[in-house]
Structure 1
Amino acid sequence: MGTHVIKMPDIGEGIAEVELSQWHVQVGDLVVEDQVLADVMTDKAMVDIPSPVHGKVIALGGQPGEVMAVGSILISIEVEGAGNVREGSEAPPAKPAPAPVSEKPVEVAVVEPVAKPAAVPAPAPTRAAPVARQPDERPLASPAVRKRAWDAGIELRFVHGSGPAGRILHDDLDAYLAQAEQPAQNVSSRYARRTDEEQIPVIGLRRKIAQRMQDATRRAAHFSYVEEVDVTALEELRVHLNHQHGDSRGKLTLLPFLVRALVVALRDFPQINVRYDDEAQVITRHGAVHVGVAAQTDGGLMVPVLRHAESLDLWSSADEINRLAKAARSGKATREEMSGSTITLTSLGALGGIVSTPVLNLPEVAIVGVNRIVERPVVIKGQIVVRKMMNLSSSFDHRVVDGMDAAQFIQAIRGLLEQPACLFVE
């Protein structure tokens, strides 16, 4: 028997370290060739690490959430034969797996101070049913009871009397005061105070999102621009196309039209379809339009890339967007599918609100946000009509994009969406 040591592979793209996201095996497990051992997270995507051998796991090299250098020991596997560790040389020790927890919990005696039993309140005296009063009727009470109520700031009209004819007695005041002094949480458990708390490690995709968002807001000079768009004609066209071709070519959402509008508008604004390397102080303009399409997953927000959007028709664009979104949500998106975008499109769909301020996806210099469609009254030629309206909430890097260019770019998109026939005029 020998030991086969698997080191953290070189993922490529100059990556020096990765985060160990999840183990799929534990010490003692038997593994086969090509079985996934662990998931690691790079700046771009989640990567599976398969086993190159058959054997038994004898040591793990890290814990989920740990950042590991390329070339460090990931896992050690006992194999038939000599393995890849020469006899007489010791493999660098992998970190031992945490000791297994016994299935039978050990009972530990804990000495606690004995609390005195709570006093059981005496049962309240049985009272006659309160007498209903007329709105202007003065409650019956003795002068002593009235003075006591006055001193305590009690309005007698709120006190139920148990005496003859509903007369308010001292016992009634005592009961009223006792009820007022009860803690609110005793009234209903729904309002009970909570003191529990939970600490959740920020690891995996959530850590990458946090790092990228913090980096983007720290480095880029964000400014946002919001434009209102009348999409009534666009929605009519979309519904018509789905009616005519939906069964054979698939249903179209709004996203393919927005992608097409980006492609057409960027022809006149090439200074926005760029990536800015602020360390090298170089702006790279791209002829190809690679659109990052933000997709929400169980782990967090991911941005797969619709490559060469300029070469896709509406249905091709829709199919590729759906495929990329499914790959991102299932964790199967490749590094190539998660990198290289030149501009990003983010949509919250029905939850899009009225206005948003999206954060740039560096090194891009523009991100276009789509808010939800609502029906609003609009004045057209002196008449109030109901139109389908939508806001575009976009952010730009002011280090590279001037305010006028940004405004004109979004207005160009608005013009294309309001006159959708222009989307198809070459």
Structure 2
Amino acid sequence: MATYTFRLPDIGEGIAEAEIVAWHVSVGDLIEEDARIADMMTDKATVEMESPVSGRIVAVAGEVGDVIAIGSALVVIETEGEGEVEEPVAEPATVSKSLEPFVSSEVETPDAPPSPDTNRPMEGTKVLASPAVRQRAKDLGIDLAQVRPSEEGRIRHADLDQFLAYNSAGGYRPAGGQSADEHIKVIGMRRRIAENMAASKRNIPHFSYVEECDVTALEVMRAQLNSSKGDKPKLTMLPLLITAICRALPQFPMLNARYDDEAGIVTRYGSVHLGIAAQTPAGLMVPVIHDAQALNLWQLAREIGRLAEAARNGSAKPAELSGSTLTVTSLGPLGGIATTPVINRPEVAIIGPNRIVERPMFVSDSMGGERIEKRKLMNISISCDHRVVDGHDAASFVQAVKTLIQTPVLLLAS
């Protein structure tokens, strides 16, 4: 019998190591070619590792949560034949000191429910899938013709997982009765989020500022634009707010910046690369609208929808999850009265619009008097890095945004 050593391949430019977030095999398992081995997570993406050969697993590279270097052995597989074979891998640029002889990682972000689209195989067409995927689908009683492929029309194990998640009912706990205590290891995306948030709060002196804005006129304009949009995407509040932010930022360049505190350098950016915090099954992700200032309202709406969907189903590319210079985080209807969001380090500010509420307000009439009207109000929160941004500048910026959204015709002026 021969042994085949499968080494963790280079799964991204500049990536030197990856974390094991899930094993799909164990020592002694018989596997087929293309069978899933492990899920590996890097700083930028989650990757599914598949076996290039059939055989029996004789060694694996660590436990879930371990980090291994690119080029390190992930699994050793006993195959037919004689001798020892190794998967050729480019040498990693750097190697983590804490790695064991065997280690691998690739992470798969839990997928959102699939929606009907043209990627689904048409009835009567041949479904592309490996023998291992076909056998698993058969064992599960899944008709591959009903499964939406994630890439190039080929159905993979992740697509079966997505199909199962979408078609399963109920939660992971039985209804009624007392649930048992759970001990959950913090790994993968959740560990990255924990580390990033802790580093942000530990290193950045945050301060927050909240302002109330009257968005009654803005909501009227949004409804009018949506009623005559034709084939354009539906406008939510977010594209309008982003447009106001992009219009105001040139007066306050210290907010569209990143601070390298180790080098002591603040970089102010001419373009607005706006991060949009998005909740996914794996946790919070921040896809980036690059050059947001160059997009109109409908282009922003389309890009927001595309990036949010890509983040949820795990198809976002590394370039779409990096390079932000300012972040907006919104909980929509759950937005609360005010928020104090945590800065997405190394950025120096984060903006949090809150939910829209209706309240009576005093408004001026044409005769110079006042009357009470029902108005739509929304608070805008901003958190800033006090090492770089002064309170006066943050407040002035929010006031500039407020002026724009309370006079919405300015958002459409060239």
Report TM bin, short chain.
Answer: 0.7 to 0.9
Distance 2:39 2:271 in 1: 32
CA deviations on 1:161-196 (whole Å, 9 max, x unpaired) are xxxxxxxxxxxxxxxxxxxxxxxxxxxxxxx9x795
Distance 1:390 1:219, change over 3 A: same
The letter of the residue matching 2:373 is: V
The letter of the residue matching 2:222 is: R
Q: Secondary structure at the match of 2:231?
A: helix
1:32 aligns with 2:33: yes
Q: Secondary structure at the match of 2:271?
A: coil
Does the aligned pair in 1 maintain the 2:72–2:102 contact within 8 Å?
no
Report the alpha carbon displacement of residue 85 of structure 1 after superposing the two structures with TM.
4.1
State the partner residue of 2:301: 318
Distance 1:287 1:4 in 2: 51
Distance 2:79 2:296 in 1: 53
State the partner residue of 1:297: 280
State the partner residue of 2:242: 259
Distance 2:394 2:253 in 1: 12
Q: Which has the higher strand share?
A: 2
Equivalent residue in structure 2 for 1:237, among 197, 203, 221: 221
Gaps of 5+ in 2: 88-99, 104-176, 365-369
CA deviations on 1:215-258 (whole Å, 9 max, x unpaired) are 0000011000101111111111111111111x511211111111
Distance 2:272 2:78 in 1: 49
Distance 1:17 1:418 in 2: 48
State the partner residue of 1:418: 406
Q: Secondary structure at the match of 1:360?
A: coil
CA deviations on 1:72-99 (whole Å, 9 max, x unpaired) are 221223445655349xxxxx9648xxxx
CA deviations on 1:306-329 (whole Å, 9 max, x unpaired) are 111112111111111111111111
Q: Secondary structure at the match of 2:22?
A: strand
Report the alpha carbon displacement of residue 300 of structure 1 after superposing the two structures with TM.
1.2
The letter of the residue matching 1:221 is: P
Q: Secondary structure at the match of 2:400?
A: helix
Distance 1:26 1:327, change over 3 A: farther
What is the aligned-residue RMSD (CA, Å)?
A: 2.4
Q: Secondary structure at the match of 2:387?
A: coil
Q: Secondary structure at the match of 2:197?
A: helix
Distance 1:276 1:94, change over 3 A: closer
CA deviations on 1:361-381 (whole Å, 9 max, x unpaired) are 001001000110000111112
Distance 1:85 1:45 in 2: 25
Q: Secondary structure at the match of 1:395?
A: strand
Gaps of 5+ in 1: 87-91, 96-191
Does the aligned pair in 2 maintain the 1:26–1:60 contact within 8 Å?
yes
Report the alpha carbon displacement of residue 69 of structure 1 after superposing the two structures with TM.
2.9
Q: Secondary structure at the match of 1:266?
A: helix
1:283 aligns with 2:256: no
Distance 1:24 1:314, change over 3 A: farther
Distance 2:356 2:234 in 1: 18
State the partner residue of 1:204: 188
Distance 1:201 1:83 in 2: 35
Q: Secondary structure at the match of 1:288?
A: coil
The letter of the residue matching 1:340 is: G
CA deviations on 1:281-307 (whole Å, 9 max, x unpaired) are 111111121111011111211111111
Distance 2:227 2:258 in 1: 39
The letter of the residue matching 1:404 is: H
Distance 1:37 1:265, change over 3 A: farther
State the partner residue of 1:361: 344
The letter of the residue matching 1:233 is: A
Report the alpha carbon displacement of residue 42 of structure 1 after superposing the two structures with TM.
2.0
Distance 2:219 2:313 in 1: 31
1:74 aligns with 2:74: yes
Percent identical pairs in the alignment equals 53
1:65 aligns with 2:49: no
Distance 1:272 1:69 in 2: 36
| 1:68-107 mapped onto 2 (5 Å cutoff) | 68-79=68-79, 84-85=85-86, 94=102
Report the alpha carbon displacement of residue 341 of structure 1 after superposing the two structures with TM.
0.4
Q: Secondary structure at the match of 2:399?
A: helix
Distance 2:47 2:198 in 1: 23
Q: TM-score, normalised by structure 1?
A: 0.70
1:409 aligns with 2:410: no
Equivalent residue in structure 2 for 1:213, among 170, 180, 197: 197
State the partner residue of 1:47: 47
Distance 1:319 1:23, change over 3 A: farther
Distance 1:31 1:215 in 2: 42
The letter of the residue matching 1:216 is: S
Does the aligned pair in 2 maintain the 1:356–1:393 contact within 8 Å?
yes
Q: Secondary structure at the match of 1:373?
A: strand
Worse-matched range after superposition: 4-13 or 376-385: 4-13
Distance 2:50 2:237 in 1: 39
Q: Secondary structure at the match of 1:417?
A: helix
Q: Secondary structure at the match of 2:185?
A: coil
Equivalent residue in structure 2 for 1:248, among 206, 227, 231: 231
Distance 1:50 1:359 in 2: 37
Report the alpha carbon displacement of residue 64 of structure 1 after superposing the two structures with TM.
1.9
